[in-house]
Each structure stands twice: as structure tokens, then as C-alpha cells.
Amino acid sequence: MTGPGPAGAAQPTMTTASALPGPVTDEDSADFWAGTRRHELRLQRCRACGQVRFPPMPRCPNCGSPDAASELAEPAGEVYSWITVHREMSGIKPDELPCTFVVVDLAAGCRMVGRFAGFWAGTIGDPVVAVPADHEHWTEIRFAAAESSRAGS
Amino acid sequence: MTAAIAGIGYTPFSAQAGRSVLDLAAEACQAALDDAGLPATEVDGLGSFMVMHDSVPCQAVATTLGIGELRLSLDLDLGGQAPCHLVSLASAAITAGLADSVLVFRAMKGRSGNRVGAMSFAGGGGQYRYPIGYGAYMMYIGMWAQRFLYETGQGEEDLAAIVLAQREYAAANERAYRRRLITEEEYYQAPYVVEPFRAADCTVEVDGACAVLVTSLDRARALRHPPAVIAAAGYSAGPRSGLDIGDHLLWADYSRNYTHLLAPRLYRAAGLGPADIQMAEIYDCFSSTVMMALEGLGLCGRGESGGFARGGGTRLDGRLPVNTHGGLLCEGYLHGMNTVAEAALQVQGRGGDRQAPRHETCIVTSGALMDGSGMILTADR
């Protein structure tokens, strides 16, 4: 996944052939989703208070300013919490079980949720990296253990 | 002017009602009126809530019940955050002279019809959740539970204690959908649905309806049962509560929900403190929310709710009976309207086999994560 500088470059990419319906994007989110398609993690940074936010929204949830810039964010962070799904549910195929989701505190200073790529044996505080997962018409952001990512690159 | 809950009505809770939601709503509302001994013609306000159009508007119920002029009609687009919020609004409306008698109800076919657990909520946050399979409400609660247990040094044995205590209450509640007692061993033998939750940690979806009648304390005193006085009630959505009811990404601390913000306001308004609370009816779509609220409301210290439950503190003979109807985990998922109804029944002393011995003050919550509502009911003193 493309990061803001050399440190974030050359992360692994994963392609899946999933039948998941893609996101219904809107004016606020178009930049983010266009970014994931290019394997970039693009976040909004408030020009008034300097804070990064997710999900994208028209004004800063911290100070209310409408003035924001889109920037490339470092695709890395730490696991804030996690769950593992053991039963088939909407959007998760039986052969994907058990399926772990992680809420990640991104280094940029905001939180995202995504699927954990691979078998989860981790815990809160573990370092993870964002990895793009290409679907036919959209690209999802997943998270993988930071160590295994380094080992594979 | 103070307001009170004067009547309570239910339909049976079932897997398949085989009747319309409007029929269920009308039955529960009429039952609440009959319970209080107030004719429908005296009602001039209605309040209800629905998630993704899974219920009927107040207007339809007013029409069906033959209510004359409606002066207050509150249709909230909310889930389990709504019941205490609606009672609070009804109480404020009565105090302000906008209405005299208000029915607050929830009616739904939550089992045979639209199941909230699998719904896609309206709002801008869904596009980041549903396409990746992060779409069930229990996942969001689970994400908070995991962090809460981690931060407070608690675990599955604490969730189990909450569940087992509520199962005992449900066994004494003929209305409860899940009435079978389970052992601790059975609890652990069941596989995870979404770790850290097993099936017994999750509410049971039902078809049904529940209603309470809110009126002035003066009027309530003239009706059939002793009033459950609304000593304090309110709603809270904390800062950065998100783009929709499932968007928790901007919330700072998953180990503390809205109850932390709401509790001081409730206690101040009621002129009471946590030590004065004799029992609690806590919104429990999942077991962890009981622990989080007990700590958020100051009824247990940080990290002490699990030990409190394991020590029997939430049982009928404990210091603070909690979820005496078995909770949403067992009685059924009426989105916490039945939690409010149980609180009123208990304060009125009509809890039957599951009546808490001390029931002068009861704290009630509605909701689990970023926003929710609560109230303190007291006996008429």
C-alpha cells in the first residue's frame, strides 16, 4: 500500500475474488475510495486544528472547520480492539470463518476498522499495516500483522 | 409538575406473532391503559421509535385506539437508545403542559419480520462497514466489550456471571422467551458467535409490543396502581458519536459508554447518589453492556462489575438486583421498552416472584454505545 514516504512503500497487495457488493460512495467519501483503488490510504486533515479524521465528513468533528485537505497517510497502526466472527453472517462467506476484524489506531491519529488478513493470534496493541484487497469494482483496506509484512517484503 | 408511569402493557413475546405490527402496538397500548384504568379518550400523546421502518407511526396507533386529538406525537428514528428518552420527553411535555397522558410504546416483529441484528442502518458510515462484512450490531458491541474487558482486567467468567444471574430471573418470569436455566459449564460449552460473545450473551429476538402510560403524578395517584415517579430522565450522545448508530470509529474510549456522561445528570436531578439506588434495569442487548453500565453509573467501581455479579450482587438477594425480568437476554428484545416496563413494575411492587425486596429507587438505561438514555424511578414518597 502506498504510504506518504519511502517508509510506507512496497507493502504487499492481496487480491480477492469476492462477491461482496461494493460501497455506495458519496461526495464526502469519493476521495477515500478513489484512493484505495490506487492502493493509497487517503485521509482528511483539518487545516484549522490539524487533526486527521475518519470516516471522511464535510466538517472537522474536533473543531467544526470545513477546511480540510486530503493527504496520503502512513498505512500502519496499532490494534485498539478486535473481534472474531465464528458464524456465517452477511458479507462473510463460510470459508472465510473464523474472520477477525480489528479497530486500528492509525499512526496518522485516527481510527479505522478492517478485516484482519490471515489467522488472528494477536492481541490489543499489536502493530499492523494496511493492505489493499482488490475486488472487481472497488478496493478494500485490510490489516495484516506488521512483522509478517516485513518478512514478506 | 412531576410525571409518573401509571400503567404497563404487553403482548406475549413470540417467535412469530402472526399478526400485524399495528395490531401488536394497539394491544400493548390498550393493555397499558386498562392496567392504569384510564380510557383511551383521555390520551393526548404518543411516543414510539423504529429502526429502518420496522414499526408503525404514532398516528396509526392513535387512529386504531380511537384517540381523539393528539397533542404530542413523537416518532423517533432510533433503536435501543430511545425508551428512556421517550419517557423523558413525555415527562417534560406533561410538565410543560403540552400533553396530559402519553403512551410510549415499541411494537415490532423482531423475529419473524425485520431483524435488527442484520439491518443496514441509514447514514454515511455504513459504506465502510457493510461492504467488508462488518455489518452486525453484535460486532460493534463485541469490539467495545473486548476493549472494556482488556482495560478493566475482566473476562469471560464475568460475562458468564451476568448471564447466569439473568437466567435465574427469567425462570421466574412467565413472559420471558428464554426461561431455561443453564449451568456455567453449558455457558462455556456453547461456541462463540462473535468472540467474546456466545449465544447466551446475546439478546433473543422476538415479535411483540410493550407500552407504558406516562401522566402527571397527580393524575397517576388517582389511577389503579401506585405511581412509579420519574425522578430524573434524560438522553446523552457523547462527543463525536459518529455518522450513524453503528459508526463508533470517532468515539475515544470503548471502555466507557454514554452512561458515564449521563449518570451525574440523572443523580443530580433526582437528588440521589449511586448508594441510594436499590435496583437497576440495564439495557442488555449483549451481556457486556450490563457491566459497562454498572460501572458507568457508579454502581460498581471500575473493573468491579464482574466480581460484583460473580459474588451474587445482582441477584434478588444481592445488594443491587439487576435485570429482574431476565433482561433482553432472556425476556426478549423489545429494544429496552420492556426494560422500562420492568422497572416501573418493580417500583410499583408488582414484580411477583421476582420482586426485588427493596424497590424504592430504580435506575434504568436504554442503549449501549455512544448514545443512550436513562432514568431514575422512585416510589411515591
Evaluate if residue A65 carries a pLDDT over 50.
yes
Q: Which of A37, A92, A103, A142 to mutate to test the interface with B (most CBs of B within 10 A)?
A: A103
> What is the pLDDT, as a whole number, of residue B120?
72
Residue reference for cell 439473568: B166
Question: What CATH number does the domain containing A100 carry?
Answer: 2.40.50.840
Mean pLDDT of A32-48: 98
pLDDT (tens digit per residue) in B240-264: 999 998 999 999 999 999 999 999 9
Q: What's the rounded Cα separation, in Å, for the pair B86 and B103?
A: 10
pLDDT (tens digit per residue) in B116-167: 766 777 678 999 999 999 999 999 999 999 999 999 999 999 999 999 999 9
pLDDT (tens digit per residue) in B11-63: 999 999 999 999 999 999 999 999 999 999 999 999 999 998 899 999 999 99
Q: Is B144 close to A55, i.e. CB distance below 8 A?
A: no
Let me know if residue A16 belongs to a domain: no
The single-letter code of the amino acid at B79 is G
Let me know if residue A133 belongs to a domain: yes
Q: Is A90 close to B135, i.e. CB distance below 8 A?
A: yes
Task: Let me know whether A139 and A113 are in one domain.
Answer: yes
Mean pLDDT of A60-74: 98
**Cβ neighbourhood burial of B183 (10 Å; 0-12, 13-18, 19+):** exposed
Which of the four pLDDT bands, split at 50, 70 and 90, describes residue B229? very high
Q: Tell which of A73, A93, A112 closes a domain.
A: A73
Identify the residue with better confidence: A11 or B89: B89
Nearest C-alpha of chain A: how many angstroms from B84? 27
> What is the pLDDT, as a whole number, of residue A1?
75
Which of the four pLDDT bands, split at 50, 70 and 90, describes residue A54? very high
Mean pLDDT of B254-275: 98
Q: What's the rounded Cα separation, in Å, for the pair B144 and B242?
A: 15
Let me know if residue A33 belongs to a domain: yes
Task: Let me know whether A94 and A126 are in one domain.
Answer: yes
Task: Let me know whether A126 and A53 are in one domain.
Answer: no
> What is the pLDDT, as a whole number, of residue B211?
98
pLDDT (tens digit per residue) in B49-107: 999 889 999 999 999 999 999 999 999 999 999 999 999 999 999 999 999 999 999 99
Q: Tell which of A48, A73, A98 closes a domain.
A: A73
Q: What sign for the dihedral angle of Cα B68, B69, B75, B81? A: negative
pLDDT (tens digit per residue) in A78-109: 999 999 999 999 889 999 999 999 999 999 99
Evaluate if residue A7 carries a pLDDT over 70.
no
**Of the candidates B242, B203, B285, which has an alpha carbon nearest to the alpha carbon of residue B371?**
B242
Smallest Cβ–Cβ distance between A54 and the set B136, B249, B254 belongs to B249
Paired strand residues for B279: B362
Let me know if residue A12 belongs to a domain: no
Mean pLDDT of B332-358: 98
Q: Where are the beta strands (DSSP E) in B188-242?
A: 192-195, 197-198, 207-216, 228-237
> H or E element: which one contains B345?
helix B337-347
Nearest C-alpha of chain B: how many angstroms from A44? 14
Task: Let me know whether A48 and A123 are in one domain.
Answer: no
Evaluate if residue A21 carries a pLDDT over 80.
no
Nearest residue of chain A to residue B127 (CA atoms) = A23
User: Is B192 within 8 Å of chain A by CB?
Assistant: yes
Q: Which three cell numbers stand for residue B183?
A: 449451568
User: Is B247 within 8 Å of chain A by CB?
Assistant: yes
**Of the candidates B320, B311, B377, which has an alpha carbon nearest to the alpha carbon of residue B350?**
B377
Smallest Cβ–Cβ distance between B133 and the set A84, A112, A115 belongs to A115
Q: Domains in chain A: how many in total?
A: 2
SS3 letters across chain A? CECCCHHHCCCCCEECCCCCCCCCCCCCCHHHHHHHHCCECEEEEECCCCCEECCCCCCCCCCCCCCEEEEECCCEEEEEEEEEECCCECCECHHHCCEEEEEEEECCCCEEEEEECCCCCCCCCCEEEEEEEECCCCEEEEEEEHHHHHHHC
Let me know if residue A60 belongs to a domain: yes
Around Cβ B120, how many Cβ atoms within 10 Å? 14
Nearest C-alpha of chain B: how many angstroms from A61? 6
User: Is B123 within 8 Å of chain A by CB?
Assistant: no
Smallest Cβ–Cβ distance between B127 and the set A29, A57, A113 belongs to A29
Let me know if residue A13 belongs to a domain: no
Q: Is A113 close to B194, i.e. CB distance below 8 A?
A: no
> What is the pLDDT, as a whole number, of residue A5?
52
Mean pLDDT of B288-306: 98
User: Residue B366: helix, strand or coil by DSSP?
Assistant: strand
User: Is B246 within 8 Å of chain A by CB?
Assistant: no
Around Cβ B345, how many Cβ atoms within 10 Å? 26
> H or E element: which one contains B60?
helix B58-65
Task: Let me know whether A81 and A107 are in one domain.
Answer: yes
Q: What's the rounded Cα separation, in Å, for the pair B248 and B266?
A: 24
Task: Let me know whether A153 and A84 are in one domain.
Answer: yes
Which of the four pLDDT bands, split at 50, 70 and 90, describes residue A10? very low
Q: What's the rounded Cα separation, in Å, for the pair A129 and A79?
A: 10
A-chain CB neighbours of B131 within 8 Å are 20-23, 91, 138, 140
> What is the pLDDT, as a whole number, of residue A8?
41
> What is the pLDDT, as a whole number, of residue B276?
98
- Examine the predicted complex and report whether its ipTM is higher than 0.85: yes
Let me know if residue A14 belongs to a domain: no
Task: Let me know whether A84 and A123 are in one domain.
Answer: yes
Q: Which three cell numbers stand for residue B221?
A: 395517584
Let me know if residue A80 belongs to a domain: yes
For chain A, report the end-to-end CA distance as a whole number of angstroms: 12
Which of the four pLDDT bands, split at 50, 70 and 90, describes residue A19? low
| Residue positions of B annotated with a catalytic role | 283, 333
Q: What's the rounded Cα separation, in Å, for the pair B6 and A50?
A: 53
Q: How many Cα atoms occupy the beta-carbon half-sphere of A26 within 13 Å?
A: 11
User: Is B131 within 8 Å of chain A by CB?
Assistant: yes
Paired strand residues for A44: A53, A70
> What is the pLDDT, as a whole number, of residue A148?
54
Q: What's the rounded Cα separation, in Å, for the pair A86 and A97?
A: 6
Task: Let me know whether A46 and A115 are in one domain.
Answer: no
pLDDT (tens digit per residue) in A122-147: 999 999 999 999 999 999 999 999 97
Nearest C-alpha of chain A: how many angstroms from B246? 12
Task: Let me know whether A142 and A84 are in one domain.
Answer: yes
Which of the four pLDDT bands, split at 50, 70 and 90, describes residue B208? very high
> What is the pLDDT, as a whole number, of residue A17?
45
Task: Let me know whether A86 and A56 are in one domain.
Answer: no
B-chain CB neighbours of A83 within 8 Å are 139, 142-143, 146, 194-196
Q: What's the rounded Cα separation, in Å, for the pair B79 and B367?
A: 8
Q: Give yes or no for a contact between B366 and B336, defined as CB atoms under 8 angstroms apart.
A: yes
Task: Let me know whether A36 and A83 are in one domain.
Answer: no
Smallest Cβ–Cβ distance between A55 and the set B191, B194, B249 belongs to B249
Evaluate if residue A152 carries a pLDDT over 60.
no
Evaluate if residue A6 carries a pLDDT over 60.
no
User: Residue B48: helix, strand or coil by DSSP?
Assistant: strand
Task: Let me know whether A31 and A88 are in one domain.
Answer: no
**Cβ neighbourhood burial of B64 (10 Å; 0-12, 13-18, 19+):** middle
**Of the candidates B252, B212, B235, B221, which has an alpha carbon nearest to the alpha carbon of residue B380?**
B221
Q: What's the rounded Cα separation, in Å, for the pair B24 and B54?
A: 13
Q: Where are the beta strands (DSSP E) in B26-67?
A: 45-49
A-chain CB neighbours of B247 within 8 Å are 55
Q: Is A86 close to B136, i.e. CB distance below 8 A?
A: no
Q: Tell which of A17, A45, A73 closes a domain.
A: A73
Query: Of how many residues is chain A composed?
Result: 153
Nearest C-alpha of chain A: how many angstroms from B242? 9
Domain containing residue A80: 74-153
> What is the pLDDT, as a whole number, of residue A114?
98
B-chain CB neighbours of A57 within 8 Å are 124, 243
Q: What's the rounded Cα separation, in Å, for the pair B327 and B333?
A: 9
User: Which string of DSSP letters, residue by residue, matches B120-170?
Assistant: --SSTTGGGTGGGT---HHHHHHHHHHHHHHHHT--HHHHHHHHHHHHHHH
